[in-house]
């Protein structure tokens, strides 16, 4: 027995809606699946590193947690809008309830985490931008680090490797250049310091961690 065509079932459908159901909606299914996969990868990486990360002092690296959660919530919201506009799934079904609950949990959790992290970030900002370097011995220049003298800066750097990148170890050893005022004459000058909480979105390693990773690199 012949089945009714799409046009016979939906005589009022426009060409705009038809094209979106043929092209846009399948693309949104794929994009949503990739977004959930990326969120799962982020949660898994946090789970694997949590034992070490929970002992790290709060740093600018923690701000990286704001982006994935709210970006993922925005992606799920776009997918919900696409389903409501162009799919044949009724709004009051268990599939939509699960999707709505998932979106709500991600949105609320991401919002709370973002407000907490941003508030703590602003409180710590003066300490990070004006560190006390009066009693710190200036770290070596990049060309004078242990890795540079041992000609190991370009070692490794494969897609998967059992050690921290030598470039990251070198960056942790040499620290960062900061503009500070000399306590003697009040002049401004650039000095290197390791009294920074993070290098980009990566928490700064302490000396013991650097030594352990350097030994792993030497064994490799």
Q: For the segment 128-169, what is each residue's pLDDT rounded down to a tens digit? A: 777 777 777 777 666 666 666 665 555 555 545 556 667 777
Q: For residue 153, what pLDDT is reported? A: 54
pLDDT at 80 over 60: yes
Q: Which alpha helices (DSSP H) does the chain contain, by range?
A: 6-9, 15-19, 25-53, 66-86, 94-129, 146-149, 166-174, 207-219
Whether pTM > 0.75 for this model: the answer is no
For the record, the structure tokens of 91 come out as 């709004």
Q: Which residue has the higher pLDDT, 154 or 114?
A: 114
Confidence of residue 97 (pLDDT cuts 50, 70, 90): very high
The dihedrals phi and psi of 82, each to the nearest 5 degrees, come to -65, -40
Question: Which letter does DSSP use for residue 23 in this model?
Answer: I
């Amino acid at each position: 027995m012949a089945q009714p065509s799409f046009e016979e079932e939906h005589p009022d459908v426009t060409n705009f809606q038809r094209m979106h159901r043929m092209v846009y909606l399948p693309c949104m299914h794929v994009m949503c699946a990739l977004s959930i996969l990326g969120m799962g990868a982020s949660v898994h990486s946090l789970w694997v590193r949590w034992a070490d990360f929970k002992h790290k002092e709060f740093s600018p690296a923690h701000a990286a947690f704001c982006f994935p959660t709210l970006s993922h919530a925005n992606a799920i919201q776009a997918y919900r809008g696409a389903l409501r506009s162009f799919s044949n799934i009724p709004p009051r079904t268990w599939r939509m309830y699960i999707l709505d609950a998932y979106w709500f949990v991600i949105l609320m959790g991401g919002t709370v985490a973002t407000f907490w992290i941003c508030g703590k970030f602003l409180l710590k900002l003066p300490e990070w931008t004006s560190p006390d370097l009066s009693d710190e011995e200036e770290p070596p220049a990049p060309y004078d680090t242990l890795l540079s003298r041992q000609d190991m800066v370009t070692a490794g750097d494969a897609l998967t490797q059992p050690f921290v990148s030598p470039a990251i170890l070198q960056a942790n050893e040499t620290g960062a250049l900061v503009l500070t005022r000399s306590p003697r004459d009040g002049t401004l000058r650039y000095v290197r310091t390791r009294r920074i909480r993070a290098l980009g979105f990566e928490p700064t390693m302490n000396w013991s961690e650097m030594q352990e990773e350097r030994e792993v690199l030497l064994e490799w």
